[in-house]
Chains A and B, each alone.
Chain A
Amino acid sequence: MTVEYLLFCLVAVPFFGSLFLPVLGKINERLRNIAALALMLCSLGMSCALLQVIASDQNVVFTMGGVTLFYADKLAIFMALVSQSLGSIIILYSFGYIKNYEHRNEYYFMVVLFLAAMMGLIFSSNLLWIYFFWEITAIVCWRLIGFFREKEYVLRADKAFFITVFGALMMLCGFLMIYSRTGTFDMQEIKAWCAINGSIPDLAVMFILFGILSKSATLPLHTWLADAGVAPSPVTALLHAAVLVKIGVYVFARLFVATFTINEIWHEVVPWIAAASAIVSACAALVENDIKRIVAYSTVSQLAFILLGLATGNNTGIVGGLLYILMHGIAKAGLFLCAGVVEHETHNKDIRKMGGLIKTMPITAVSFALCAFSVMGIPPFGGFFSKYMVITGTIDSGQIAVGLTFVAGAFLTLAYLLRAFARVFLGVSRAADDGHGLPREGSPVMVFSVALLAALSLLSGVLIQPSFQFAQSAVQQMLSR
């Protein structure tokens, strides 16, 4: 099998495979679970195989009937590996978490389809494919957020759907404007066009930015993300940390950094949008009392750091942004899964009613702390490197005021994560009087998943070299015209 078909299978296997999961579920639950994990691992394996080729500066293109469908370069493979590894861990965690809830067949179908659509989006070589996969993820999310079917949850799912689809339609308008100007949807051709004709129209950039901000939950289109916290925990973890919100920033990197030439002004406007988003959402995280909402707002705030890094337009900042996608993905998935364990065991999401859980749930507590340290940017955790690079990228681009605003955002990050940690895990227990007795540690698979993510947060920092160097070479490839 040639590498081109490998690229195709990487998307197609989980995409079509997901359709069979409900059928398998009718036969045997365990079989379906294993099949879901196998699909992800299979796709992950293919990415690793593809990495061998791409690491030697050779891009892979899949064409069918003369039309370029998929295109893989370093940026794409980086993003794919991050999403697939996290996706696999999250599916593993679901084994323990979802088994007591209804509609399990639908759950696994949706999650695998979601990850497959993500792969499709990452490797898309033209704008229409991006739009196509983008909308699939929106539909799947809508279903997953409203998974518990209660009226309020469905309303929130509708909200998320409306906001992201509104953004997507705006983005489609932007794509059409670009088409009317350049006569093509193919990104390589647009890149060539930009090299000759200069930057693309500002209005198109603005429209596309709407889509990106809505998907990446950035101010002012961010509030759906906190409401999405009602979904079953692995889904929120998936939605927030690994995949959904990173779609937006990935498309930003793909279009505005690697493909289009855009007006200089955007390199100043987008950081300020990101700065506002970082501060407002961090403030909200400091006030909220629902553990999942806190972690969700923290995601909004950290996404602003990623967007900032990518928007600085210089080497340092973009490397930082890419590393941030990786480090934040690992750590935030860990935080969500820990929150999931806590919610699952205490039947409670309000941090004011928790406390002292470190005594009965030590592994979860320590994992939460380690992941939180990574998000705060404390060495030797991975988050330190990405945060440093993003901040330095801002200084390099001369935007000192933006940089200082983000340092203030980082203060708030420290404050709200430590507050949440202290309220949930430290001090005296306030949970004993609800009749359930003292909560115990979660199921072995769940605890294993969170401990794995915590260990990865630490290892990604201690062994920074490979990811750092790959991010650097990816950025070099992106910026080469």
Chain B
Amino acid sequence: MSTENLMLFAIIIPIVAAVITLVVVRKNSMAAGGVTIAASFVNLFLAYRIYGTETSVSVPWAGWFFEFTLRNYQFSSFILISVAIFGALLSVYNAIFLKEKANGWLFHAYFLLTIGFVNGVVFADNLILLLFFWEGLLGIMFGMIYLGGANAYRTSIKAAIIAGVTDLCMMFGIGTAIYLAKTATISDMKVSMEGLGGLAFVLLVIGAISKAGAMPFHTWIPDAASDAPMPFMSFFPGALEKLLGIYLLVRITLDIFELDGMSWGSTMLMIIGALTIVLAVAMALIQKDYKRLLSYHAISQVGYMILGIGTCTPVGIVGGLFHMINNTLYKCCLFLTGGSMERQAGTTDLKKIGGLKSQMPLTFIIFIIAAASISGVPPFNGFFSKEMVYDGALERGTIFYLAAVLGSVMTAASFLKLGHAAYVDKRGDVSKVKEAPAAMLVPGMILAALCLFFGLGNVFPLREFIQPVLGARLEGHDFSGFHFNIVLVGGTVVALALAVINHFVGVKKTGNGLGAVDHVHYAPGLHQVYDAAEKRYFDPYNWAKNVGRVVAYIGWGIDRGIDFFFSKIIPFAAMGISAVIRSLHNGSHVTYLAWSLAGLALVIIACMTGRL
């Protein structure tokens, strides 16, 4: 079968499987899980077959710029196969996790729809087609979060509004970019950053980084961690959204705009990246719920990717992309351990339970590997990608480097705390907790093994997947292997050491792992800031909501004013005039005579002045 057909099948098969789940299987979560596993593995097989080929195909669509143009090249097949691997692993995990849930079949259907749409995004070589699949994910995401329970709908609305607003920005950006480039085919597009092009750039970047979950479009993610079903977290914020968001960001900066290191666009991206790293991880530090803590890291890690890509240096971009795939591996893995804890222990609130080490030893080992990876401990994968991002950031400005290192200190500190609190501390009754079933452990083990492999064997992912994406922009460099910059490694060692010292100080003060960062949390000054942040005073969504409320009342007031004019002033004026005229028609002959005479006088005057 030709690759063109395989590409079409990769979009159609998951969607058809989803429709079958929705229409035929219905209400049977077990069977839906079976369909999902089958379709996910078919998708994995297709992705494997497509991998490494380069081709494009155009299917007739609506005409005008709406062309159903798909293109497969190195970068898209890399993202495609990553999504397919995560999809296959998670489908197995979810089948077990959801088998007793009443709404599990719906989740499986949404999961399959998501895979189909994501494949569409990855293949789309037409910006409008890309937007079609991209924005189409919004409705699915809404449905997935909604399944989380009675209160999840608030979060699903919040997520839908944030995603909807940023998608609309992207729609305008795409319209502008097509207008400037006179083509909608991404591979032919070249737009300058001047004038309108700058607007298009900003709007497209908003769409991309919002999907990736960067600040200030992140605030639904921690809420989703509390409300949404666990498999959603590992799939959407944990894996897919990073892959998609960063994929698009790289397409924008490398293909559409050819971002230059000297441009304001590059600086803008680096500032967003640095702020996202520091602020999100600062929030992660103080969380006392397993899922919520992870969700803040899901935001913070995006900062490294955006910072790396924003540097516009080869090492930074390669680092950003490598960090994207590494983060997906360990973050997905971490969310899976959280899901196992939720299912086996019944809660993820660390204040209620702890010391699962002896009950769930395998989960603990998986956690350690993933936590070491995210903290940047050598020789795990996170270490290598972070070093590259540091390298790029240091080249562009020390402040960006320092922000990134500060982020690493706090990341390491928060995972020391999390591991200590969840697995070592003695808290709550854990005697009845059992290790997660094999089908839920195996995906985590595979991901953990990949974390180690992508670290020690970084030559493979870098040479095979990532460096070819840059093409000529790589300028002949090869970043794979182990070549260390002594300054950067020194910085990392110091950062990790600081985290460990901080942990010991905290544990000594409070006597348990959960309180390891309480001395930071309740430090004078910081305490008030943290309280305000936890009360969502800094949530841009809330700000926008309040501004929106004021604007809405102003608009409503204008509307009511206009209505007042029509319903009150006009009838009043009509009645008034009518009353005046009526009072003149009072039946008195004298009045009528006076009017007649006055009229006659007017006629005479008019005749005399010759006006008539």
Interface residues of A (CB under 8 A from B): 159, 163, 219-220, 222-224, 279-284, 286-288, 297, 316, 319, 373, 376-380, 384-385, 387-388, 391-392, 395-396, 400, 403-404, 407, 410-412, 414-415, 418-419, 422, 426-428, 464-465, 468-469, 472
Contact = CB atoms under 8 A, between A and B. Distances in A.
A378 B131 CA distance: 10
B136 interface: yes
Given A427-B150, A472-B63, 18 more contacts: A159-B567, A279-B555, A280-B555, A283-B559, A286-B555, A287-B556, A316-B64, A379-B131, A379-B132, A379-B133, A385-B62, A388-B171, A392-B179, A407-B169, A407-B172, A414-B165, A428-B150, A465-B62
A414 B179 CA distance: 26
A223, A316, A379, A469 pick with most chain B CB within 10 angstroms: A379
B573 to A, nearest CB: 13
Contacts of A472: 63-64
The 6 A-B pairs at the shortest CB distance, nearest first, are namely A283-B555, A468-B62, A286-B552, A223-B563, A287-B556, A392-B175
A380 B555 CA distance: 31
27 contacts: A222-B562, A223-B559, A223-B567, A283-B551, A284-B555, A286-B552, A378-B138, A378-B167, A388-B128, A388-B131, A388-B171, A388-B175, A391-B175, A392-B179, A395-B176, A395-B179, A407-B169, A414-B160, A414-B165, A418-B157, A422-B157, A428-B150, A464-B66, A465-B62, A465-B63, A468-B62, A472-B63
Given A385-B62, A427-B153, A465-B62, A284 B164 contact: no
Contacts of B199: 400
Interface in B523-552: 548-549, 551-552
B559 A469 contact: no
Given A223-B559, A400-B196, A287 B175 contact: no
A407 B170 CA distance: 10
Contacts of B554: 283
A159 B566 contact: yes
B562 A219 contact: yes
A377 B135 CA distance: 9
Contact of B172 (A404, A418, A422): A404
Interface in B119-159: 128, 131-133, 135-136, 138-139, 146, 150, 153-154, 157
B145 to A, nearest CB: 12
B164 A376 contact: yes
Contact of A163 (B154, B169, B566): B566
Q: From DSSP, what is the main secondary structure of chain B's interface residues? A: helix
Interface of B: 60-64, 66, 128, 131-133, 135-136, 138-139, 146, 150, 153-154, 157, 160-161, 164-165, 167-169, 171-172, 175-176, 178-179, 196, 199, 548-549, 551-556, 558-560, 562-563, 566-567
A403 B551 contact: no
A418 to B, nearest CB: 5
A375 to B, nearest CB: 12
Contacts, number: 133
Contact of A281 (B138, B549, B559): B559
B165 A391 contact: no
Q: From DSSP, what is the main secondary structure of chain A's interface residues? A: helix
B556 A469 contact: no
A469 B63 CA distance: 7
Nearest to B564: A223
A280 B131 CA distance: 28
Nearest to B160: A418
B136 A411 contact: no
A392 B178 contact: yes
B175 A283 contact: no
Contacts of A395: 172, 175-176, 179
Given A388-B131, A415-B548, A282 B157 contact: no
Given A223-B566, A284-B559, A403 B172 contact: yes
Contacts of A288: 556
A175 B62 CA distance: 38
B468 to A, nearest CB: 31
Contacts of B548: 286, 412, 415
Nearest to A467: B62
A282 B556 CA distance: 9
A378 B138 CA distance: 8
B133, B175, B178 pick with most chain A CB within 10 angstroms: B175
B584 to A, nearest CB: 25
A230 B185 CA distance: 49
A465 B167 CA distance: 23
B66 A468 contact: yes
A414 B160 CA distance: 9
Contacts of A412: 548, 552
Nearest to A219: B562
A407 B168 contact: yes
A388 to B, nearest CB: 6
A163 B551 CA distance: 27
B178 A380 contact: no
Given A283-B555, A287-B552, A418 B136 contact: no
B132 A391 contact: no
Contacts of B553: 283, 287
A297 B179 CA distance: 32
Contacts of A377: 168, 171
